[in-house]
Amino acid sequence: MKKAIMIFLMFLLLIKFDVYGQGSWRIAAKAPVFNRIDDINFINDSTAFMGQDGKVYKSVDGGDNWDSIGILPNNAYIRSIEFVNDSTGFIGSIFDAVGGVGLYKTTDGGRHWDRINDVVDGGMYGICGLDHRGSTIIGVGIYSEPGRFYISRNNGVTWQGWQIKESAALVDCLILDENTFLVSGNSPDGRKAVILKSEDGGLTWKEVAKSTHNMTYCWKLSIKDSGLGLGSIEDAPTSFITYDNGSTWEEIAITSDQSNQRFGGAYFFNELLGWLGIQWGSGTYETRDGGKTWNLINFGGAINKITSTSKGRAIATGNTIYIYDHKVSNHPNPVDTPASHRLSSGPNPTDSHIEIKVHIDCQTALRLDIVNSAGQIIKTLAHQNTPAGDYKWDYNFSGLPAGVFFVWMRTNEGHQVNRILVR
């Protein structure tokens, strides 16, 4: 009798965990530490790949332990990774040490990688997001502009790429079926976080979500089989939620004080439990009521991607690998120390002229723009691979109307904005 009662109680606990997700976050037993791990890809519940700074890692136990298996040429910054089977995989890069961007391919399970820009019809401008279904693979990029779409229909043997005019920059993508895709980034008007949908294989696109906030991005997309999904917004107090598989989206408040957050990883573990990671900073916002309310929890640093397996486990990438399951938590408190890029500009207010100073902490891809109050770029001062060091620009507002302008600095590690009042 006691044994039957014990089995029944254990059954109830399992149901509670499966339905309500009553687990806890912990740090993976053996995982590398980086400034930020941007992506992870599972080919089944056990085998996963990820990497950063040119180093590729593999796990065969669901993400607990990781072994270094390969190296990309030129210390490439790994923004996205996607395997179509256990041998063939792709990495999208947005920067490497010799200057440039690349699409890389492996055919031996990640041990060796070749740069395959030359098979992309239309040119390679950098890939921030990858996704695949069957033999179809799609990619998008780049956060620093332009907004381009890439597609292969033959498991990555050949690729085509073209500009999506409804976007300024693109960051993430999802395949819903062989011809229905979602992409996210920001819009040409105001550089507002945007989600676009195509139902004809990427030939035409319609806007299905746009933020009210200028100079923002829709950073990460995820949708459950039920149709419930999230689109994180970087540099706003809001994010997008969908209930109908991405056909329509609602922009919802995440922070009660309306403070802007750099939301990254976005994921619903089940119909109630979900997370929005902070991808340049510390902590994670959590909902336990299907997205109605959100609370900041003391977990993780630089969370850029969240996914799950069918074994009741969620995985987040950030400074390292974080795991959510029913095992005992080892208290993965926030530890992020973002790269110390610095932006300053003045005098402020100014009658015409400002001096802009930038400190770059580590080699990166730098874009520096002057933006008006409508979020329109009026001058690009820099758009280049930039070694660590100190840099200076002068800009004169003569000929422009008085008002508020912004100096907008974008790097691989994050974005900064200075507000300038021109009298």
Same domain, 299 and 377: no
Residues 391 and 297 reside in one and the same domain: no
397-410 residues labelled b (16+ CB within 10 A) or e (exposed)? beeeeeeebbbbbb
Domain of residue 228, residue span: 23-325
Share of the chain above pLDDT 70, in %: 93
Give the domain CATH number at 415: 2.60.40.2550
Domain boundary among 300, 325, 350: 325
- Does one domain contain both 243 and 392? no
**Whether residue 10 has pLDDT greater than 50:** no
**Model confidence, pTM:** 0.92
Q: What is the pLDDT of residue 14?
A: 45
Domain boundary among 325, 352, 383: 325
What does the pLDDT look like over 221-266, one tens digit per residue? Answer: 999 999 999 999 999 999 999 999 999 999 999 998 889 999 999 9
Domain shared by 318 and 346, yes or no: no
Q: What is the pLDDT of residues 110-151, one digit of tens each?
A: 999 999 999 999 999 999 999 999 999 999 999 999 999 999
Pair 51, 87 in one domain: yes
- CATH number, domain containing residue 250: 2.130.10.10
User: Do 184 and 53 lie in a common domain?
Assistant: yes
Task: Answer yes or no: do 245 and 302 share one domain.
Answer: yes
Q: Do 386 and 309 share a structural domain?
A: no
Residues 70 and 113 in one domain: yes
Question: Do residue 284 and residue 375 come from a single domain?
Answer: no
User: Is residue 402 one of the residues assigned to a domain?
Assistant: yes
Q: Is residue 271 part of a domain?
A: yes
Asked whether residue 103 is domain-assigned, the answer is yes
pLDDT at 12 over 50: no
Looking at the domain assignment, is residue 70 inside a domain? yes
**23 confidence band (pLDDT: 50, 70, 90):** confident
Render 246-286 in DSSP notation, one character per residue.
TSS-EEEE--TT---EEEEEEEESSSS-EEEEESSSEEEEE
Mean residue pLDDT of the chain comes to 92
Residue 376 in this model has a pLDDT that exceeds 50 = yes
Find the range with the poorest average confidence among 12-21, 61-70, 151-160, 287-296. Answer: 12-21
Per-residue model confidence (pLDDT) at position 236:
96
Confidence of residue 385 (pLDDT cuts 50, 70, 90): confident
User: In the chain, how many domains are there?
Assistant: 2
